[in-house]
Chains A and B, each alone.
Chain A
Amino acid sequence: MNNLMTREKWQTIKSRYSIYLVLIAMIIVCNLLSPNFLSARNLSNISTQISVTTILAFGETILIIGGLLDLSCGSVLALAGVLSVYVFKETGSLSLAFAVGLIVGVLCNFVNGILVRRFNIPAFIATLAMMTVARGIALLFTKGQNIYQIGDYVWFGQGSIGFVPIPVIFMIIIGILTWYILGHTSFGRSLYAVGGNEEAARASGINVGRIKVGAYLINGVFVGLAGIILMARTNVGAPNSGQGYEFEALTAAIIGGTSFSGGLGTAGGTLAGAFIVGFLNNIMNLAGVDSYLQQVIKGAIIALAVGYDMWAKVNRTRKTLGAAKLPNERKEAKA
């Protein structure tokens, strides 16, 4: 009887926390492969390296849960970052530069939200348009040239409080904020409802449009912040930076269990997803794996991790439904 209880408990843990089990397995394997892996400096490096994409991934998580998407975050990040750097160089004010970065992120995402809400443009198209517009403005503004000699601005990306790097502190704050918004506010509950079934959410009195714009505004704050951190980390205001970051952010969110069909996802899962990708990149570099092979291994391990997570979730659903068969199994049985 006791054995049965223990096994059931283990099954529950396995299915509910499968992505974290994958993460723990990765830590063990990486530690075996490289003695440096668990050193404080290496862990600090990995956390700093993933901070920008993880902050973007938190924004994507909020949007995807609400049935939305942001393809413009890489470009908006660059625009927010270069304008913020420019303001710092002109005024010398860190707080003003910080505010400008956030405002640019929020404004661009406000436009995204309005395009989706007022004009019913699919999020994919609206943010694709913003991706081009924001990148174009960043390049026009800088004439395609980098802004150098950014002085104390680098603190946002290279400073630290105690032994914790500033980008990691920002990542933790944004992670906690995402966790709180999703799990402990009526906005978060409405977001899950909108993403799960928009019509049912509307019928139950939720202002769907306002929730969608709200999700984009929150994402805007995160994207603006990510832009500031990236420019500071690289010590340059680069209008061509952040290319492809939207896909890295989406990858972290999806690996972390956020469902593209909406209504599912957690901040913890996204953080785990981001660390899985970060650990993978790190260990392959530490082990000196060839560049081309890295891409193959990365793709394969991401597919394995998500595959295991999905398999564990199907198992959990099966357990919840008892002996009942899943829809696809019923189809197979009929055939």
Chain B
Amino acid sequence: MKFMKSIRTVTAVAALCLAATTVAQAENYKIAFIARAQADSFAAWLANGIMDEVKKYPDMTVDVMDAQADDAKENAFIENAVANKYDLIIVQPNNGEAQRPYVEQAVKDGVKVITTNARIKDIPGSSSVDADPYEQAAVNARLALTQIPQGANVVVLNGPSGNMHADMRRDAWQKEFFDKRTDVKIVGEQIAHWNKEEAMRFMEDWVQANDKIDAVVSMNDNMAAGALEVVKDDPKFEKMLAYGVDGTAEAMLLIQSGKMTSTALQNAYDLAAKNISVAHDLLTGKITQIDTDIDCPLVTKDNVAQFIEIHKKSGAIK
């Protein structure tokens, strides 16, 4: 009798331990966020946002890995995350096509995958959270249709060739603006690799070669800010228009001061929040697959004040 009682007690304790372990396992989802490059300020902003956001979910933890803008490193991180049994991987691709086979393999191995900024399209079983790069540029281009004067001279600053966001933003400007405004002349167009200093060098040369530059069309804010830095004290360019994308703290301040015309906000906090919320829904079985975008609101002098608060929150603007 005593023996049977002991057996029952041991069995009950074991069952309790097993149940506790199962619950603990179910409530501790491991997520790997593979960032494109922590040296890229947007990627760092996104990584910081993800780390902040995940604190709201006690059943999830995130490890951030830095691929240092290297395809081989990024692919190795994806493989390692699968091998280390992460429940979900968020991939911010360095080069979507280079990461595609590794993401496909991760999905085949049963790991949930979200691709973000930019999404890798058409991988069955994977999800994606992104901002539409075409629309980000298009909202600016549509505004420019009415703002850039007839017969204007414009300069164009592009992102790295082959980068999906760079190419789609340029495509949007072509279709939404340049194809419709054939009176506008592009007097300079170069790749400045998202880089402010490089954009400054180009702008300094263009200012020499052209008496009149009416507008700067830039595929990101950093390069637009570089172009504006060059002409900031030159009354000849006082009325020059400048368009960017991203909504960086610097762009917000430039818009507020009337030096920059507009940008489209790509809010890393929104992107982070949506990634983490989608990750939670995927892990808890609420959804099995989703492709979703965050909004890309146009920021002009009229509404910049509300967006500056985002950067005050991050500490970038005091």
Give chain A's interface residues, CB within 8 Å of chain B. Answer: 34, 36, 39, 41-42, 45, 48-49, 135, 139, 143-146, 148-149, 230, 233-236, 238-241, 243, 281-282, 285-286, 288, 291-292
Contacts and interface: CB of A to CB of B under 8 A. Distances in A.
Given A45-B204, A148-B253, A291 B316 contact: no
Interface size class of B (residues with CB under 8 A): 35 or more
Contacts of A235: 225, 229
Contacts of B38: 139, 144
A146 B209 contact: no
Interface string B50-61: 000000000000
Given A139-B38, A144-B38, A285-B209, A234 B250 contact: no
A41 B208 contact: yes
Contacts of A143: 44, 48
B316 A39 contact: no
Interface in B40-73: 40-41, 43-45, 47-48
B184 to A, nearest CB: 16
Contacts of A238: 41, 196
Contacts of B196: 234, 236, 238
A48 B197 CA distance: 12
B41 A146 contact: yes
22 contacts: A42-B208, A45-B204, A139-B39, A139-B44, A144-B39, A144-B41, A144-B47, A145-B41, A145-B44, A145-B45, A145-B314, A146-B248, A146-B249, A149-B317, A230-B197, A234-B196, A236-B250, A238-B196, A239-B39, A281-B201, A285-B205, A286-B209
A-B interface, 6 closest residue pairs, ranked by CB to CB distance from nearest: A144-B44, A285-B205, A240-B39, A45-B204, A291-B191, A42-B208
Contacts, number: 90
Given A146-B250, A233-B197, A291-B191, 6 more contacts: A41-B208, A144-B38, A144-B47, A236-B250, A288-B209, A291-B161
A288 B209 CA distance: 9
Contacts of B209: 34, 36, 285-286, 288
B202 interface: yes
Contacts of B41: 144-146, 238, 240
Contacts of A234: 196-197, 200, 226, 229
A88 B83 CA distance: 46
A288 B196 CA distance: 20
Contact of B202 (A34, A233, A240, A285): A285
Nearest to A284: B205
Nearest to B69: A243
B192 to A, nearest CB: 9
Given A139-B44, A145-B316, A291-B190, A286 B39 contact: no
Contacts of B286: none
Interface in B175-204: 187-191, 196-197, 200-202, 204
A48 B201 CA distance: 9
Contact of A285 (B48, B188, B225): B188
Interface in B16-52: 38-41, 43-45, 47-48
Contacts of B229: 234-235
